[in-house]
Amino acid sequence: MTPTPPNQRVRVTSSRRGATTPRRRPVARDLDEQTDLGDVYLAGLMRAQRRLSIIVISLILAGLIGLPLLLATVPSTRSLTIAGVPFPWIAIGVAVYPSAWFLARWYTKQCERLEADFVAVVEGT
Amino acid sequence: MSSQLSIAVVTLVCVVTLLVGGLGLRLSRATSDFYVAGRTVSPRLNASAIGGEYLSAASFLGVAGLIYDRGTDMLFLPVGYTVGYLVLLVTVAAPMRRSGAYTLPDFAEARLGSRRIRLASSTLVMGIGWLYLVPQFQGASLTLSLVTGAPAWVGGFVVMVVIGLAVGAGGMRSITFVQAVQYWLKLTALAIPAFVLLALWLRQGTPPAIAPDSWDVALEAISPDDHPLYRTWSTLLALCLGTMGLPHVLVRYYTNPDGNAARRTTVTVLALLGVFYLFPPIYGVLGRVYLPTLPTGVRSDTIVLQLPETLLPGLWGQLLTAMLAGGAFAAFLSTASGLAMSVTGVIDQELLRPRLSRFTGGDAPEVRGFRIAAGLAVLVPYLLSRATEPLGLANTVGLAFTVAAATFAPLMLLGVWWRGLTRWGAASGLAVGAVSAVGAITFSLVGGPFTGWTAVLLSTPALWCVPLALGTMIIVSLATPGHIPPGTARVMVRLHTPERVALSRSRLRD
């Protein structure tokens, strides 16, 4: 092994080997301490949840404003019968309930997925 | 014979309620047991309990009576009662659970950091709770008078005593079991007679309903002064938003273990309510077929109880009547106990506990104050129910929904979703909502008779009261940006962050 001449340049790589890498601070702490960063994440979560809620509420509004409006303005829908039962009774008396249930189930699933994603991000996993 | 059977069934329902309530007595020890069942109730049990608590005299008797009376339009009532839970689900269900508060006033105080707003909310809880309790007592009196011929004060008195004991004995844990049982009791008691009556009707060759022309025509004005479209929309708005603001509905959400469970509970509640509400219209229609005119002095609220013996004289008819009377009593007991529970909580926390501890230097056990409060919570509305003439069960309940929709609903919606809400905004919105809703209804009851738009706007005021209250809250908040409560950011983190994220500072310990 030849000794290295004193003036030769040496390339230094990986200068921090052995040094402790600083632990990444999870966003959960930022949320907890209401830092600006935590605020950004919370605002994002709330925005996503609000969007979901607005979708459901728009559908509710469409149904509950639309159905009475339809019955009031298009008189033929009042006397329409389906299999001998008047259309209004089927629509208001029966069909509303399964629709509400499906909507609720869809919303809950979406919300849980959204929150699982959020947890994964802020816990840093 | 009929009356003896009915008395036996009603007694059985009352005894079961007390027995199951007594089970809670052994389990309830800490204060949080009394209020929220230690927060360990599973979504299914909780959903049955919510269903059992929510389906009141108005749903069991009143809806059928109104459909009998006024026809197709009234089908929108149960729709509103049900969709109210969907609105609650997508706006406040999980955040309310995550808020970590016990009651509506607790939430108001935690969100806005103001004792005065807490006091205002407590007053509203008592007002709405009592308003909603009055028709339950009246329904009980009506039912017992009809099926047994008992004097008018008896039914309400029985309900008052039973729920006073049940709430005072075990608080919320007992009530959770009682109410879960009562949902299934009510569904069975309404469904079996409905199937029997439907079968009889089919066997007789489906005789037609006998009713005025406008009865089965949806949204047809009954008189020139009637505005069916406005009336329907306003009622729907009151029911959809009022549900979340009813004190006994929200307190149930605190018994869920976490926000996700709160959502799942609501989905199950929607299924349970949907199944239940298929039945009242059957009674309304069959009533039109077999009892097209009621004798004077007999209210249409009793149509459910009258049908079995009209179609089926003899023992079987009496059995079905007894079954319906039992179910109706289950309805009064469960709703009334839920309401009494919330009102008791408020009286205990706001009025009694501070005073009791001053008298006794903290020696009195907390439970004693709670029991005194339970007595007060049921006695006042019982006396009110004796003093006021019955308005029709579903109508009185509608008033409670309207007040809740114009006060608590805006507070909760903005409190959960808008950081800009200020104390001044919340306080003025609550005041405007309460004064306009209560004022309009009172005016329409005592100031009338009114005609045309005045009458409709005063008797179903939700469609203008709610936007007014909501608008006041937003505008006043925008005008007082300096009064945003200092803890807002932290409360928002608590309301919206899933429980799995560990928050040691922002979350309250249960």
Per-residue pLDDT tens digits for B98-148:
988 778 898 999 999 999 999 999 999 999 999 899 989 988 988 888 888
Closest listed residue to residue B143, CA positions, set B212, B80, B62, B248: B62
Q: Enter the DSSP assignment of B398.
A: H
Q: Is B500 on the interface with A (CB under 8 A)?
A: yes
Q: Which residue, among B98, B493, B506, would best test binding to A if mutated, counting the most A CBs under 10 Å from its CB?
A: B493
Q: Is B3 on the interface with A (CB under 8 A)?
A: no
In Å, the largest CA–CA distance within chain B is 74
B492 chain-A contacts, CB cut-off 8 A = 42, 46
Closest listed residue to residue B489, CA positions, set A34, A44, A50, A27: A34
- Mean of pLDDT values over B476-482: 95
What is the pLDDT confidence band of residue B387, given thresholds at 50, 70 and 90? Answer: confident
Q: What is the DSSP string of B184-229?
A: HHHHHHHHHHHHHHHHHHHHTT-PPP---TTTTSTT--SSTT--HH
Which tops the pLDDT comparison, B252 or B34?
A: B252
Per DSSP, the three-state class of B295 is coil
pTM of the model: 0.89
Comparing B160-164, B264-268, B386-390, the range with the smallest average pLDDT is B386-390
Amino acid symbol at B368: R
Could you tell me how far CA B490 lies from the centroid of its own chain?
32
- Mean of pLDDT values over B154-175: 79
Chain-wide mean pLDDT for chain B?
87
Residues B329 and B139: beta-carbon distance below 8 Å? no
Bridge-based pairing of strands A81-82 and A85-86 is: antiparallel
Residues B111 and B491: beta-carbon distance below 8 Å? yes
Report the 3 state secondary structure along B446-491.
Answer: HCCCCCHHHHHHHHCCHHHHHHHHHHHHHHHHHHCHHHCCCCHHHH
- Mean of pLDDT values over A93-119: 95
d(CA A55, CA A62): 11
Tokens matching residue B212? 């005025």
d(CA B461, CA B444): 10
Tokens matching residue B221? 């004005």
Residues 464-493 of B with CB under 8 A from A: 489-490, 492-493
Give the CA-trace dihedral at B257, B261, B267, B269, to 10 degrees.
-10
pLDDT higher than 80, residue A7: no
Q: Phi-psi region for residue B501, left (φ > 0), alpha (ψ -120 to 50) or beta?
A: beta
Q: Which residue, among A29, A30, A34, A99, would best test binding to B if mutated, counting the most B CBs under 10 Å from its CB?
A: A34
Closest listed residue to residue B219, CA positions, set A72, A27, A47: A72
Name residue, tokens 């509303």: A96
Q: Which residue, among A78, A108, A112, A123, would best test binding to B if mutated, counting the most B CBs under 10 Å from its CB?
A: A108
Could you tell me how far CA B129 lies from the centroid of its own chain?
8
Model ipTM value: 0.89
What is the pLDDT confidence band of residue B1, given thresholds at 50, 70 and 90? Answer: very low
What is the pLDDT confidence band of residue A58, given thresholds at 50, 70 and 90? Answer: very high
d(CA B466, CA B461): 8
Q: Is B76 on the interface with A (CB under 8 A)?
A: yes
pLDDT higher than 70, residue B171: no
Name residue, tokens 């629509």: A91
Q: Enter the DSSP assignment of A95.
A: I
- Mean of pLDDT values over A55-78: 92
What is the pLDDT confidence band of residue B354, given thresholds at 50, 70 and 90? Answer: confident
Predicted pLDDT of residue B146:
86
Is the CB of B493 less than 8 angstroms away from the CB of A97? Answer: no
Tokens matching residue A5? 């001449």
- Mean of pLDDT values over B27-51: 69
B86 chain-A contacts, CB cut-off 8 A = 56, 60, 100, 103-104
Predicted pLDDT of residue B30:
55
- Mean of pLDDT values over B395-413: 92
d(CA B459, CA B475): 27
Distance from CA of B79 to the nearest CA of A (A): 7
Q: Phi-psi region for residue A19, left (φ > 0), alpha (ψ -120 to 50) or beta?
A: beta
Predicted pLDDT of residue A1:
52
Percent of chain B with pLDDT over 90: 47
A122 chain-B contacts, CB cut-off 8 A = 501
pLDDT higher than 70, residue A20: no
- How many CA atoms lie less than 13 Å away from B380 in the CB half-sphere? 17
